[in-house]
């Protein structure tokens, strides 16, 4: 072999060896990078000892809902040791299911969600159960298997309905009209939601104890101002001989009041129709004070602190109750002035 040929072969060997070293070094670097990424993407907060919570809120339909979201965001803050991932389902059950699936694949520590309606959660909550992630219901409940969630934090909706009926009873008694006929219309919230089911059944329970009371019609108003107005206008087109309007949230009440006014009627203590509403947001309490709404059945959105407390108990391995009900009041013109100055929402 010629000297020049030998040199060329040696140079080629050196070049191949250098290339091999480069390829191997690059492979190791990528592997290293990948394992670091997997660690930080899958467990981004473990190092900081944060409790990772996925929260699926059902929407933003009311002041009540905005306050509920804010209460949870404030209580489950970074300062309090939580990493909260918030998803707004915009009133669509499929969005909530998608959000819950996302939380499962991220392996969050807890799933918190306010179910839009009671039915239809079995499959996705079974997936959460199989992944070993505790589910906490807030505000509303689900139908069916109770082993699919750890605990519930929210209102006793059926009791709220009873409170409305009991207030009406006491009001009529006080006016000496308990035995007079009452023609009632109901504006109800999202069909199949715990708030609609509970408030309706609790109220009807009391109505059924009075032979002279009749629910002459009901319409779904979906907990919004626009739908509340539409529903009330429809009811007024069908029948104008109405003594009582029971509206299952303040937004629908505001809409209904517009429709009632446009039809030439008035509500409240000096009005043509008795008006009962649920929630007790500030604007509604002001209308109670002005005598336009007779009675507000409170639905308390401030559930965040209790939620944080329950999660801490679960973290400590303590057993928790299956349901926690928040405290709620009934507001009328007699007591509303005591609460208005401090009403934050
Ligand atoms: O489930 C609670 C109800 O939902 C509140 O009454 C209402 O304002 C909200 O949309």
More reliable by pLDDT, 40 or 231:
231
Calculate how far, in angstroms, residue 84's C-alpha sits from the geometric centre of ligand 1.
22
Nearest CA among 198, 196, 205, 219 for reference residue 166: 205
pLDDT, residue 329, reads: 98
* Cβ pair 228, 185 in contact under 8 A: no
* Per-residue confidence (pLDDT) for residue 62, from 0 to 100: 97
Residue nearest to atom 6 of ligand 1 (CA): 249
Q: Which atom of ligand 1 is nearest to the CA of 223?
A: 10
- At 252-294, the pLDDT tens digits run 999 999 999 999 999 999 999 999 999 999 999 999 999 999 9
pLDDT tier at 337, thresholds 50, 70, 90: very high
**Å from CA of 65 to ligand 1 middle:** 6
pLDDT at 296 over 70: yes
pLDDT tens, position by position, 12-36: 555 565 565 555 555 444 444 443 3
Residue 248 has pLDDT above 70, yes or no: yes
Query: Ligand 1: residues within 6 Å at CB?
Result: 61-62, 64-65, 139-140, 195, 223, 249, 278-279, 299
Task: Name the residue of 60, 65, 152, 278 whose CB sits within 8 Å of the most ligand 1 atoms, as the mutation to test its pocket.
Answer: 65
Query: What would the pLDDT profile of 48-91 be if each residue is shown by its tens digit?
Result: 789 999 999 999 999 999 999 999 999 999 999 999 999 999 99
> Which residue lies with its CA nearest to atom 2 of ligand 1?
195
pLDDT at residue number 36: 37
Q: Which atom of ligand 1 is nearest to the CA of 61?
A: 10
How would residue 211 be classed by pLDDT, with cut points 50, 70 and 90? very high
Band of pLDDT at residue 46, cut at 50, 70 and 90 = low
Of the options 3.30.300.130, 3.40.50.2300, 3.40.720.10, 3.30.430.20, the CATH number for the domain spanning 37-154+301-327: 3.40.50.2300
Domain with CATH 3.40.50.2300 in the chain: 37-154+301-327, 157-299
Q: How confident is the model at residue 179 (pLDDT cuts 50, 70, 90)?
A: very high
Q: Work out which ligand 1 atom sits closest to the CA atom of 299.
A: 6
pLDDT at 126: 98
Non-local CB neighbours of 279 within 8 Å, separated by 6+ positions: 62, 63, 64, 249, 250, 296, 298, 299
- Whole-number average pLDDT of the chain: 91
Residue 254 CB partners (closer than 8 Å, separation 6+): 225, 228, 283, 284
Answer whether 72's CB lies under 8 Å from 307's CB.
yes
Mutate to test the pocket of ligand 1, among 60, 62, 161, 246 (most ligand atoms within 8 A of CB): 62
> In a mutational test of the pocket of ligand 1, which residue from 192, 196, 279 has the highest number of ligand atoms less than 8 Å from its CB?
279
Q: What is the predicted pLDDT for the residue at 30?
A: 45
3-state secondary structure string across the chain? CCHHHHHHHHHHHHHHHHHHHHHHHHHHHHHHHHHHHHHHHHCCCCCCCCEEEEEEECCCCCHHHHHHHHHHHHHCCCCCCEEEEEEECCCCHHHHHHHHHHHHHCCCCEEEECCCCCCCCHHHHHHHHHCCCCEEEEECCCCCCHHHCCEEEECCHHHHHHHHHHHHHHHHHHCCCCCCCEEEEEEECCCCCHHHHHHHHHHHHHHCCCCCEEEEEEEECCCCHHHHHHHHHHHHHHCCCCCEEEECCHHHHHHHHHHHHHCCCCECCCCCEEEEEEECCHHHHHHHHCCCCCEEEECCCCCHHHHHHHHHHHHCCCCCCCEEECCCCEECCCCHHHHHHHCCC
The superfamily in CATH containing domain 157-299 is Response regulator (3.40.50.2300)
Q: What is the pLDDT of residues 99-151, one digit of tens each?
A: 999 999 999 999 999 999 999 999 999 999 999 999 999 999 999 999 999 99
CB atoms within 10 A of CB 227: 20
CA 297 – ligand 1 centroid, Å: 12
Atom of ligand 1 nearest to the CA of 140: 1
């Amino acid at each position: 072999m010629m000297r020049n040929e030998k040199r060329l072969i040696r140079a080629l060997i050196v070049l191949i060896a250098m290339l091999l070293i480069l390829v191997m070094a690059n492979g190791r670097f990528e592997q290293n990078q990948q394992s670091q990424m997997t660690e930080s993407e899958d467990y981004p907060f473990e190092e900081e000892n944060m409790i990772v919570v996925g929260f699926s809120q059902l929407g933003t339909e009311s002041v009540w809902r905005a306050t509920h979201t804010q209460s949870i965001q404030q209580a489950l803050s970074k300062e309090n040791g939580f990493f909260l991932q918030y998803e707004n389902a915009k009133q669509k059950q499929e969005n909530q299911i998608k959000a819950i699936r996302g939380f499962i694949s991220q392996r969050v520590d807890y799933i918190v969600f306010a179910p839009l309606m009671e039915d239809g959660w079995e499959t996705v909550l079974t997936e959460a159960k199989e992944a070993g992630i505790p589910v906490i219901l807030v505000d509303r409940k689900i139908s069916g298997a109770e082993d699919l969630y750890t605990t519930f934090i929210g209102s006793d909706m059926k009791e709220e309905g009873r409170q409305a009926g009991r207030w009406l009873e006491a009001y009529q008694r006080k006016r000496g009209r308990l035995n007079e006929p009452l023609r009632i219309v109901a504006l109800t919230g999202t069909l199949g939601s715990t708030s609609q089911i509970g408030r309706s059944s609790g109220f009807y329970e009391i109505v059924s104890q009075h032979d002279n009371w009749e629910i002459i019609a009901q319409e779904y108003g979906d907990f919004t101002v626009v739908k509340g107005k539409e529903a009330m206008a429809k009811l007024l087109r069908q029948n104008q001989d109405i003594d009582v309007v029971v509206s299952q949230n303040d937004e629908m009440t505001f809409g209904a009041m517009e429709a009632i006014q446009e039809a030439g009627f008035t509500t409240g203590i000096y009005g043509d129709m008795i008006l009962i509403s649920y929630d007790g947001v500030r604007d509604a309490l002001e209308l109670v004070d002005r005598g336009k709404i007779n009675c507000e059945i409170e639905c308390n959105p401030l559930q965040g602190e209790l939620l944080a407390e329950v999660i801490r108990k679960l973290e400590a391995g303590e057993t928790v109750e299956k349901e926690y009900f928040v405290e709620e009041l009934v507001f009328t013109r007699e007591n509303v002035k005591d609460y208005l100055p401090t009403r934050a929402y």
